[in-house]
Amino acid sequence: MTIGRTVYLNGKFCPVEDAAISPFDRGFLFAHAAYEVTAVYDGRFIDLEGHLSRLRRTLEGISISNPYSDEAWAEIHTDLIDKNGVEEGLVYLEVTGGAYGMRDFAGPETFTPTVFLYADTRPLIGEAARDGIKAITLGDTRWKRRDMKTVQLLSQALAYRTAREAGADTAFMVEDGLVTEAASANAWIVDAEGRLITRELSHSILPGITRAGVLSLLDGTGIELVERAFTPEEAAGAVEAFTTSAGAMVAPVITLDGKPVGSGKPGPVTRRIQRLYYEAMGADVAAVAPWALG
């Protein structure tokens, strides 16, 4: 394959060496991006309409408005292969949520997308088509390996946007009738018997460092811990709920789907865990969090 020297970035054609995007781009930070790859054969695109129609659907699904009409997209594609002299190969296009100098999951109401295209000259009807390829079978893990802290964060970014639309700050994510985690934190509840419940470690959740920190502080407190998955109904009926993460540390969850959790105020177990955690990190709790002293 030969990457064409001229690429398209945000409204302009430029040499590939000059094409630069911000490290704060949502494609880089959250995988918040759509892409298409369209084949070029004999200087013509193979079903560009099909690709542009799928792009429209993907962009709509990920809250990015389509920056161009189909006609404008077709013109950019044509200009790109002309400038690079591509007769046979591929055009890659990517549209991301863009950059705005910070990392926040939900992002602005309206994105100013980053648009990037390059052309690649390569034979499409070649050895693989002639001789065949070798395959193995593998479990489909897209994206089920949440235990790895990767930037596959598109669903979380969309979850934050949906939460914001609903007047909330985060979401308890549910899979197969069980809460996995909060949108970017581990989820915890306290049941009517005062038991602290958080999901056990598995591929389904990130092994939170804050979660582990909290667990290490429970010895000798008399708080009973149960590591198991809980349902959204249990969370709704819990007497307390909170999340843990490096960003928000121990955050009391006071409503779920608009209804109060327990009293609708941060509860005593949550306050105790906040206190323990803040003390362990060396905070002067009386000064910075007197409300955690109970």
In whole angstroms, give the CA distance from residue 59 to residue 57.
6
Least separation, in Å, of the C-beta of 254 and ligand PDD?
A: 19
In whole angstroms, give the CA distance from residue 218 to residue 222.
8
Residue (of 2, 26, 12) closest to 102 by Cα position: 26
Least separation, in Å, of the C-beta of 172 and ligand PDD?
A: 12
Q: Tell me whether residue 66 or residue 245 sits nearer to ligand PDD (CB atom).
A: 245
Span 224-263, contacts to ligand PDD by CB under 6 A: 244-247
Amino acid (1-letter code) at residue 158? L
Q: Angle formed by the axes of helices 48-61 and 70-84, to 10°?
A: 120
Q: Which of 211, 271, 272, 275 is close enough to bind ligand PDD by CB under 6 A?
A: 211
Least separation, in Å, of the C-beta of 175 and ligand PDD?
A: 13
Q: Tell me whether residue 48 or residue 206 sits nearer to ligand PDD (CB atom).
A: 206
| 149 a catalytic residue | yes
Q: Tell me whether residue 8 or residue 188 sits nearer to ligand PDD (CB atom).
A: 188
Least separation, in Å, of the C-beta of 88 and ligand PDD?
A: 42
Amino acid (1-letter code) at residue 155? S
The yes or no reply on residue 274 touching ligand PDD (CB under 6 A) is no
| Piece in contact with ligand PDD (CB under 6 A), picked from 49-57, 79-87, 158-166, 177-185 | 177-185
- How many residues of this chain bind ligand PDD (CB under 6 A)? 13
Span 95-154, contacts to ligand PDD by CB under 6 A: none
Q: Tell me whether residue 3 or residue 178 sits nearer to ligand PDD (CB atom).
A: 178
Least separation, in Å, of the C-beta of 52 and ligand PDD?
A: 33
The yes or no reply on residue 210 touching ligand PDD (CB under 6 A) is yes
**Tokens standing for 268?**
């005593």
Cβ-based neighbours of 9, under 8 Å, separated by 6 or more: 19, 21, 114, 115, 116
Least separation, in Å, of the C-beta of 85 and ligand PDD?
A: 43
Binding mask 180-209 for ligand PDD (x = CB under 6 A): -x--xxx-------------------x-xx
Among 83, 134, 144, 149, the one annotated catalytic:
149
Q: What residue ranges bind ligand PDD (CB under 6 A)?
A: 181, 184-186, 206, 208-211, 244-247
What are the catalytic residues? 149
